[in-house]
Each structure stands twice: as C-alpha cells, then as structure tokens.
Structure 1
C-alpha cells in the first residue's frame, strides 16, 4: 500500500501521438514484472464526481476506459478522456481500451464546439438489435466501428458490416470512420449466403415437393426436409410408389430429418419404393390394404388418422318416426365403400349423415374420401393399432342391411352387427388409389 501511495504522488503521463481503439503508453522507464499500476480519473476543472477505478494492473494489462459519472462543465459537452490535461489529442471514448505500462492519469475533456453522434440501424434485419454508441464526437475525430453485439440476423443472409449510406462504404468492426461536421448513420449490411438446397420430385405425379428458400454458408448445418407434401408416384404399370429418401447426383442418400454440413449446394431427387401396409398414403392417411392387382382404377386403400367427427352421427335421418329409405347400398366386399357412399348420397341427398360427411372431406387435397364398406371396416379393425386414434364405440359402415338398418362394428371387440340407421355412431373415412 505504501508503494502505491508513492506511485500516486509521482505519476508520469506521456501524451501519445497515435490514437487507436487499443491505446499504448510509450515511456522509457524500466519496470519490474511485479510492479502494480493504477489509473486515476481527473475532473480537469469540471464539477461533479470522477469515476474511481479500484483495480490495480500489471505491466501490459488492458485497461477499459470508464464512462463519465456526472462530471459537467457549464456550456461544454463531455467528449472523453485524455492523457494530457489540454486534451489536444488522443481523446479516449468510454469503452475504449489501452495497454498500461505505468500508472496513469486520465483527464476529462469537454468542448463547446458542435458535437456529432454515430447511430447504428438494424434496417431489414429479422432479429437482434443494433449496438449503441453513446459518445459525442467533434469534427475530425475518428469513431471506431462497433461489433454486431446485438446479433442482428437476416434469414438466408450473412452480416457483412455496417454501411455508410452516402458513400455506400462498408465498414468492419474495429475500423474507424472520420466524423466530418455531421451525424453519422450506419446500417446493418447483409449479403446472401452462397449455398442452397433444392429438392426435385423426380417423376412424382402426386404431392408437392418441399421448398427450402434459405441460403447457407459453408459449414452451416441443414436439416434434410421431410416429405411434407406427400410426394408419390401413383399407378405406374399398376403399382404405386411412396417416397423413401433423397439422393444427390453422386448417389449419396439423405434421409429426412437427418442433418448435413454444407460444403457445396445440394440438389436432391426424391426416391421411391412400392407402397406397403403402414405407409403414409398420398393423401396423408395410412395405407391399410393392398390388393393383388390394379383394377377398377385402384389397388390401395388408405384411412384417415382421425375420426371425421369427434361425436357420433346417424347413418340416415328418419323421414318420419320409424320410416327410412332404402338406398340399395348393400354391397359388403372390399372395394364397395365408394359405390355404396355414392348410392347413399344419390338417394338421401343433402343432410348430416355418415356417408355425406365422409364425402365432403378434402384431406390431402383429395376429394374422393368415402365411408368404408362392412368388409373394409373390418380391415380397419384388424389394423387399428397401426392406424390409431379409434374409440371403443361402434363405427358405421356404408353397407345397408335392411331398409331400417345398416352394418356397424365395435372397434374395441371387433363384433359386427346391424343397428337402426338413426343411431349415432363414429365414422372413419377412407379412400382408394
């Protein structure tokens, strides 16, 4: 402590001829590596309280210049600190740094000349915030460019510096701009990242190819797209094909959901395989039946993954008490669901009943959903765990048994029976392709 007091009484200040964001004090005295240095802030004739730096420093340590606490001088504006009391040069702004080589006095500097500010703007950034420069500058001073500390970002673009609009000059953090009798506004500048990912349908005649509109830098990580648009090849020589994975021109396989480190732009083609039971169908349902051959314009059946309604619905609304219409939709075999549904609607017309609500579905942008026949409903029951989201209630089929009754099935026990058409049971729509 005694040594520090002696140093305080014998401070030597050298005024450097060079200013930078990292200032060095040049001196000729030799110091031992164990000697400690301090920084003292001097009001230099101003009123108020000076900042107090409680730190002690080793030789060549970095010192961060403190802000003005509340020093003021009537008719003058605070502009920084200087190694010299006349503030003729080397104005250090709060937040600047210098390398200490001896104990140092920093003098408060004020001016009655016009002062100017430097403002940073986010412009068209998507997120983050621009840095703030709280300092004032006189004409001829150098303002050092701040880093993108607020992490301004723009999707598909890379931050490339700060643009001074009048000159269209791009400044990088750490560089400086000279203040010349005007405020300065700097806008965040972005450039497109150079790498892209393109997905191609590769012969699909159903569904929509994913689109990646982002741009990537080398080394960025990209997640390979899922088949969100249900790409498929429907009925190629009697066989339909579902999406399997993506492949590049070199034959490298890219599985949906996996990550890839970008080195070059990617062009990925969809690859397909024949549909299997359990696959997602072209309309987003679950494939639950495949017949041996393509005939009558179909080979596969897919079912919705949810009930059409979260409540029950009648098979037919009564004309009067105990009176129903005969629809002729009596077929029960696999493949009969669509013609049964069409017959029901032809006879029953408008209304709120099982066949009608199934026919109005447009899931997956397909409009051929229908109520399953008795045997199709039984196949649904056999695959209920795979399809999912069934309740323990009865479900209507499209198969009529008599004028007043139709076939239904309990999806908990599997039992099939006939019930009066005005009973309200659940419905699950299917379609064929």
Structure 2
C-alpha cells in the first residue's frame, strides 16, 4: 500500500485510470493452465476459452483495492443468434482450472463466464466471437462486471494507523460510484480506535459494486489534514482488503482559506429563485470535477440574498481549483452547474473568488379540474437540463399525447418520448399544457371464413359510453350450409353473441367474429345441391346431415353376391358401400360411388333405413317426385336377396340379386 505524505488529493487517480479500473477490471492474467485438447469433428470449429480473474494485477498508475481471495469456480454459458446451431450445455471450471477447449458449430457465438464465490454468483464477463469450421480460436474472457447478487453482500476490511493525539476528527467514507445505487457509508475512525495498536480497524458489509473510499484525518485547531482515496471493488461473498493504511504526524498538511460569492438568479431579475433551499460549492483538483477529485465543499442552507457567500479550506499546496455548484430547490432533484474556468490559488489562499452567475428557469406543470396532471421532475432547471414529465391520470382517463406541449412564451419546445416524456430546458421559463380524455377501446371485426361480403371498419368505444355495432348483411360462405347470424367474441361461436347493429357495453377492446349458424333443414338443399333428408342432431362421427341425389340413376343391376357384414341403420350406407366395392366389381355400389354433384364425389349407396328416410321425409311430403318403384339399398339380406325400399310408401321388399332397379346416391355432411 502506498503511504500518503500529503493531503489525499495528492494521491487521486487519473480519469483514464478510474475508467480502466471501474469498467475494465484491469484483469491481465489467467488463473491456471489449459486442461487439454479436444479433437474436432469435421466441419466443426473449436474455441479455447481462458477466464482471467481480477486478482494479482498491478498498475502503479491506478489506486484500486481488489478482493483478497479467489473465485471457487466458473460456469461457461453459450448463446448464438445463428439459426440451426446446437447450443452446448454449460461448462464448469473448478478451482484453478480456468481454461477449456470446446467444440462449436460454425457461426456467431457469445460466451459468458460467471464467477462464483462458493455458491454465490459474484462476477461475470463475456465475449462475442465468430467460430470457423476446422479452426481453433483463442477466447480470453475477463471477469469485468460485478454482479449484484440476490441480497448477497461483500466485505470491506479496513485498518488505519494514525496519531490519535494529533487528530481531532477521523473518518472513512465509502461512496457508490456512478451506475451503482445506495448511500454513503461513513465510519468514525476515532470511535473504533485501538490505543494498544495505535490503529482503527474493522469490517463493513457492502452491496456488491464499485466504491470510492475516502479517509480524512483532521487537526482542526492547527488547520491540518491528511488522507487518501481509493477505488474499492466489492464482490458478493468475497473480502476486499484495505488494512494497510498508516499516517504519521508528518503526513498532515496545512489548510488555507478559500472564499467568495456566487449569484443564483431566476430567468429575469436579481432576487433568489423561489424555493431555493441550499447552494453547495465544491472544489476539485481536476477539470472533470469527478468525485475522486473533490478537495472540499461549502454548503449554504436557505441563502437569504444574492450574492451567496461561501467559504472552505483546502491544502496549501493546491495551486489550481475547479468549481462545481449544486443547487437544491425544495424537493426537486439537485441541479448541477459547473463553472467553465479554473481558478489559480496562491499559497496563502484566496477569499475574493466571484463565481459566475447561475440562471435558473421555472417550469409550470399542468393539472386539470379532475386532477389529471402532467408534472415536471423539478420546478426549476438550468439551460440544457433534460427535464422529465410524469403523467398522472385518474381512473378511466388517459393523456391525449398529441395535446402535450411545452412552451416558452409562444415558442414550442420539442417533447420527445412516449412516456416518460422529456424535453431540453431552454434559456427561459416554460409552461406545460395537455389534455386528458376518457380511455377508448378498439372494436374490430373478423370475417371468420366468409368468402363474400365485407365486415365493418374498426370502431372506437369510449369508456362508459355504449357503442352501436356495425352490420354486414351480405356476408356469406359460398357453397356452405351456414348463414351469417351476427357477431361472437370467439371464432367458434362459443363466446358472447352480439346482434347486427347491437350494443356493445364492455369497457375493453374486442375482436368480433362473424357467427355462422346452419341453414340446413330436412327438405332443403345440402352443400352439393342434393335434397337434405336426414338430421341426426349431432356431429358424432364427423357428420350430422345426409343429402341425396336430385335425380335417380335408373336401370342398375345389383351385380354382387352375398357378403356378410352390412348394416341397415343410418350411418351404415358408406361402410356397406366400401365393403361391397372391396370385394366385387361392377356393382350398384360402384355406380353410386362414382356419382358426382356440386363438386362433391363422396357419394355412396344408402343403407335400408337411410333410404327409408328419403321416402318418409322427401317423397311422402311431396318435396320430391322420384320415379315410383323399388330402389336398391346397400344392406344385404341373404345369399339371394337385397333390401329394397318402395320410394312412395317406404315399404321393404326383399329383392333378388339379379333384379334391375334405380338407385339414389347419398352423402354425409
């Protein structure tokens, strides 16, 4: 550890070093050797992954505290956006084994290494590479990202030796660096001082992340101070060692006064802006004004008037100082203003530094009579600040986004985003305006299989206001037995029904599907254009209705011999026909099977009862006027006779096989 001989600003790290430490991890060496080689399959590629830890790195230009123990294992994971590749299972590297050769399908891959302390995932690193067939490439991965864990913490061990009799105040502060949330952790070193060891020491649990550690020792009576800063890496499950700090009486440096004025004014006028609660002037040793370069600060709470007077003390050896001013206005987020020029400081200090005037501009939010509102994240801002607008709508109301505007007088200021909304603060006061309306919902229509006609255009329903639905009386399915019967919330008609020009009351978006109901009735026409003669009132077996040919086929010889297995009930005609065709040729069943009507060719010879229903439901009712006489069925009585039905009466006749009768082909649907 480097011993500090001057005030801590003397040991501050450079901006480039901070970035290298915080975001790159400074990892430069492997933890162990390769475990072996794998012979690749032809056409495959290989990668040799070597995981670099975070330990043992030395860089004289970087002040960084790293964990003092190693990771217990690494898990390698693989992902690829290349289509069709086979993703291997994760690979575990234990202990000191930090290298492995893996075979992968050619393509673009991302390899991620997760480092563990015990069973806690503490850090990770990844690399994207292109794998080439029959080639081996080296893939070094650095553990450069600290993982937050799930409530897990890391430990910071501290130890600071200093002369207590020369020290009136001593503190160690750990501040989360940019990108990590949390508050400062401050340790009073005097309260934990061990006189026997002339040292303050202990441990502090911290959320994983990057921290700026600042040690400050003060002798207020003599206006002397000493200290140091470091960047601290905290990993879940690991301990970071900061126990080797030692200060003597010679390490204290003298302080000199620094004082001056700064004016904080509204967009016009010279008075303090209303609501201004605190002004903080901070001195830095570097123009970047980063936290690691802070020397001292002066807080002025509730300033009374312009100019605001401020005072602080800095080390006498600091020749140049850079300033940043923080402004707090009530509950508003802190506004930051950084002066653009450096100030030279003589060895004896300087007490007449006039910092540039800061202009603060006001932002007026919008609230309507119902308490719908668009409010900025601050009521005052500096020119160039990004201001975020928060939208608060009461129940069932929504912002009409096209109405949102920010104006400086009559000049409109561009607003970006779609929630949250943001704008850049101009050099002037601005006001927000907006309009809110009831939530609306879209009602869309779906033809749901219609081959003719159009559905209504989409409609907009306003919350709490009933909507009259559209109508489409010309929707139909060509060649189908179904007719259009309004709308339904489900394609299969199992949802909620809505009539044409009906009323939709629900406050939710919906797609309404054309509802189809069967227009088939016995005595009507079927899909093929035949006569519907039977309805079994269910779709068991995939059909419900039967239709027959509009004209009989005359002079057909049965043409087959006896075969067992035919039935007489409805539903047997098709299987009877298939059985006869499978065993004989040139039969009445073949003639029926070859029949075609209306584009349908799935006809067959009816069973005895099926033909009986043609007589009962069509011929006897006068719907049809088929030629009188007996008609063949597909039901076989015995070796010499076939069931036949008299079409006019429905009576059964046992007809010899060698007879010639007409047939009426039928089909299911």
TM above 0.5, yes or no, is no
Larger RCO, structure (CA 8 Å, separation 6 or more): 1
TM band (smaller chain):
0.3 to 0.5
Structure with higher Rg: it is 2
TM-score (norm 1): 0.37
TM-score (norm 2): 0.25
